[in-house]
C-alpha cells in the first residue's frame, strides 16, 4: 500500500497519481498544501524538510520526495518493461524525454504561463509577457509534435514514463484561455490521453480553487 501526501490540484501530484493509476497500484492519499494546509506541521516536516508535495511512502520504507525520483522509483519497482525498460539503452531514451519534458515543458508552462494566467489577478497580468512565454513554450512543444509524428507516444508505440512527464501538463495547456499554435500531432496525442481512465481521473481535475478572480488591486 502506497501512502501519498499532496493535494489533487497540484500538477506534480497529478503526474504521480496518473502514474500510480496506469501501473494499477493501491494507495491512500492525504490532501495537504494550498487550501488544505498542513505543510508547516512537524509531522509533514519529518516526511519532507522541503515542505513540498508530493511525498510518497511505500510501506515501512523511508519517505521519498521530488516528483521525478518518485516516478522513477515506482516505475523501477512496479511497472512493466514497456513503461520503464530494464535495458539501460532503452531506458535512457525514455529517461531523456522524461527529463526534457520536466525541464522544458512543465517548468516553462507552470510558472511563466499557468501561474501568470490563472494564479494572478487579472489586473496584475501582463498579456505580452504571457504571450512571449507561450511562444517560448511552444518552441519546445514543437519538438514533441515532431516526435509524435513518428509514433503514437513520445518514445514509441506504448505509454512510458516520458508520457507521464509531458502529458500531465497538456490538460491545462489546452484548457486555459491562451492563443495556441497549431501542433496537430500533439493535439492528437492529447486527445488520445484524454480517453485513458487514469488520465481523466487524476489529471483532468478542476483548478478553479487555484484561480485568482479579483478584478481590482
pLDDT at 216 over 60: no
> What pairing do the DSSP bridges indicate for beta strands 55-58 and 2-5?
antiparallel
Asked if 93 and 199 sit in the same domain, the reply is yes
Please report, rounded to a whole number, the percentage of residues in the chain having pLDDT higher than 90: 97
| CA 30/CA 7 separation, integer angstroms | 7
In a domain, 152, yes or no: yes
Predicted confidence (pLDDT) per residue in 3-34, tens digit: 999 999 999 999 999 999 999 999 999 999 99
For the residues 137-146, what does the mean pLDDT come to? Answer: 98
Domain range for 178 = 88-203
In a domain, 127, yes or no: yes
The packing angle between helices 88-100 and 161-175, to 10°, is 20
Closest to 131 in 3D by CA, of 191, 67, 176, 71: 176
Asked if 137 and 187 sit in the same domain, the reply is yes
Could you please report the per-residue DSSP string of 191-217? HHHTTSHHHHHHTS---GGG-------
Cβ-proximal residues to 125 (8 Å cutoff; 6+ apart), any chain: 116, 117
| CA 18/CA 198 separation, integer angstroms | 6
| CA 135/CA 133 separation, integer angstroms | 5
Which is higher by pLDDT, 195 or 1?
Answer: 195
pLDDT band of residue 215 (cuts 50, 70, 90) is low
pLDDT band of residue 213 (cuts 50, 70, 90) is confident
| CA 75/CA 19 separation, integer angstroms | 8
Domain boundary among 26, 59, 78: 78
For the residues 110-125, what does the mean pLDDT come to? Answer: 96
Domain boundary among 34, 59, 78: 78
pLDDT score, position 217? 42
Asked if 126 and 67 sit in the same domain, the reply is no
Predicted confidence (pLDDT) per residue in 153-193, tens digit: 999 999 999 999 999 999 999 999 999 999 999 999 999 99
In a domain, 173, yes or no: yes
User: How many domains would you assign to the chain?
Assistant: 2
| CA 153/CA 3 separation, integer angstroms | 29
Asked if 66 and 134 sit in the same domain, the reply is no
In a domain, 168, yes or no: yes
Q: What is the DSSP letter of 34?
A: G
Asked if 46 and 140 sit in the same domain, the reply is no
In a domain, 115, yes or no: yes
Q: What is the chain's mean pLDDT, rounded?
A: 96
Asked if 97 and 198 sit in the same domain, the reply is yes
- We report the CATH number of the domain holding residue 183 as 1.20.1050.10
* pTM for the full predicted model: 0.95
- The helix (H) or strand (E) run that includes residue 58 is strand 55-58
- What count of Cα atoms within 13 Å lies in the side-chain half-sphere of residue 191? 7
Domain boundary among 44, 78, 112: 78
Amino acid at each position: 500500500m502506497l501512502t501519498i501526501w499532496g493535494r489533487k490540484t497540484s500538477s506534480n501530484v497529478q503526474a504521480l497519481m496518473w502514474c500510480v493509476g496506469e501501473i494499477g497500484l493501491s494507495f491512500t492519499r492525504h490532501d495537504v498544501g494550498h487550501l488544505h494546509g498542513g505543510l508547516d506541521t512537524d509531522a509533514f516536516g519529518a516526511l519532507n524538510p522541503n515542505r513540498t508535495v508530493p511525498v510518497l511512502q511505500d510501506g515501512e520504507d523511508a519517505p521519498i520526495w521530488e516528483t521525478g525520483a518518485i516516478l522513477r522509483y515506482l516505475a523501477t519497482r512496479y511497472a512493466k518493461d514497456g513503461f520503464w525498460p530494464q535495458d539501460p539503452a532503452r531506458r535512457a531514451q525514455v529517461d531523456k524525454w522524461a527529463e526534457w519534458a520536466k525541464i522544458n515543458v512543465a517548468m516553462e508552462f507552470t510558472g511563466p504561463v499557468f501561474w501568470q494566467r490563472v494564479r494572478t489577478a487579472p489586473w496584475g497580468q501582463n498579456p505580452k509577457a504571457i504571450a512571449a512565454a507561450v511562444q517560448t513554450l511552444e518552441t519546445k512543444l514543437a519538438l514533441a509534435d515532431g516526435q509524435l509524428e513518428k509514433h503514437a507516444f513520445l518514445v514509441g508505440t506504448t505509454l512510458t514514463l516520458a508520457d507521464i512527464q509531458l502529458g500531465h501538463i497538456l490538460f491545462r495547456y489546452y484548457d486555459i484561455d491562451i492563443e495556441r499554435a497549431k501542433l496537430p500531432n500533439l493535439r492528437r496525442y492529447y486527445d488520445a490521453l484524454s480517453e485513458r481512465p487514469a488520465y481523466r481521473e487524476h489529471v483532468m481535475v478542476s483548478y478553479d480553487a487555484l484561480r485568482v478572480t479579483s478584478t481590482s488591486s
